[in-house]
Amino acid sequence: MFGSESLLVLPPALDYAGFTVFALTGALAAARDKQDIVTFWFFAVVTGIGGGTLRDLLIDAPVFWIGNATYLGIGLLVAVAVWFAAPHLERAKTLIWLDALGLAVYAVIGAAKAISFGVGPFVSIAMGVLTACFGGVIRDVLAEQPSALLKREITISAALLAASGFVALMLAGVPPLWAGVAGAFAGFGLRAGAIHYGWALPAFGDRRDKGKA
C-alpha cells in the first residue's frame, strides 16, 4: 500500500492544466457546431469537470470544483479564447490532439486523487481511467457526435496505460511528480501512435471474419 507521502501526490497546478486541456476540447466541440459563447463556456466546463466529478462521488471525496470558482473562471477564459482562435485553427485535428493530451494527464490526476483518499492500487487505476474518459463522453453526447470510445481506436487503453504506469511507479518508490510525468508520457505516446499510425486493438470476430474471406 502507499505511504503517507501519497497525500502530497501531485501539485494543484497540474489539475488546473488538465482541466484546461479538456475544457479546450469542449469549447472546440461547440465551435464545430457553431454554438453561441455561453454554450462554449458550458461545453468547456462540463467537459473539464465531468470525469473528476464522477470520480469524487465514487470515492466519497468532496467534489473538487464545488467551492472553487477557479474552474469556472478557467472555463470562461477558455471559451473566450476558442471563440476568437477557432476560425484560425484546423479544429478537428486540434481537438483530437488536445483530447489525447487531456486523456493522459487526467488519467494520472484521477489515479493520484484516488490514492490520496486511501483507495487501493487497482481501483485507483480504474478511477484514473474514468476521470480521463467520462468528460469526453459527456462532450460527445452534448455535441451529438459518436464517442471515440465506441470507435476502434486506442483510447481507454491509453488512459489505462497512463494510470497504471503512474500507480506502478508510485509503488516502486518513484517520487509522485516523476511517476506522473512518466505515466502521462506513456499514455499520450500510445494515443498519439493510434492517431498517427491508426493503431487499434483486435476486435471480436476479426479472425473468424478473415477465415471466411
Highest mean pLDDT: which of 15-19, 80-84, 90-94, 201-205? 80-84
The whole-angstrom separation of Cα 190 and Cα 47 is: 22
Mean pLDDT of 7-34: 84
Handedness of CA 170, 172, 178, 184 (dihedral sign): negative
Q: Which residue has the higher pLDDT, 7 or 206?
A: 206
Confidence check: pLDDT of 207 > 90:
no
Domain boundaries, the chain: 4-201
Distances from the Cα of 39 to the Cα of 32, 35, 143, angstroms: 12, 6, 11
DSSP string, the chain: ---GGGGG-S-HHHHHHHHHHHHHHHHHHHHHTT--HHHHHHHHHHHHHHHHHHHHHHTT---TTTT-THHHHHHHHHHHHHHHHGGGS-HHHHHHHHHHHHHHHHHHHHHHHHHHTT--HHHHHHHHHHHHHHHHHHHHHHTT---GGGSSSSSHHHHHHHHHHHHHHHHTT--HHHHHHHHHHHHHHHHHHHHHH---PPPTTHHHHHHH-
Instruction: Report residue 163's pLDDT band, with 50, 70 and 90 as the boundaries.
Output: very high
CA 36 to chain centre: 25
Q: What is the pLDDT of residues 173-204, one digit of tens each?
A: 999 989 999 999 999 999 999 888 888 777 76
Q: What's the pLDDT at 205? A: 65
Q: What percent of the chain has pLDDT over 90?
A: 62
Q: Which residue has the higher pLDDT, 99 or 76?
A: 76
Confidence check: pLDDT of 6 > 50:
no
Instruction: Report residue 7's pLDDT band, with 50, 70 and 90 as the boundaries.
Output: very low
The whole-angstrom separation of Cα 93 and Cα 125 is: 28
Confidence check: pLDDT of 71 > 90:
yes
Q: Which residue has the higher pLDDT, 94 or 57?
A: 57
Q: Which residue has the higher pLDDT, 202 or 170?
A: 170
Q: What's the pLDDT at 13? A: 84
Q: What is the pLDDT of residues 100-154, one digit of tens each?
A: 999 999 999 999 999 999 999 999 999 999 999 999 899 988 888 877 666 667 8
Cβ partners under 8 Å of residue 96, min gap 6: 195
Instruction: Report residue 8's pLDDT band, with 50, 70 and 90 as the boundaries.
Output: very low
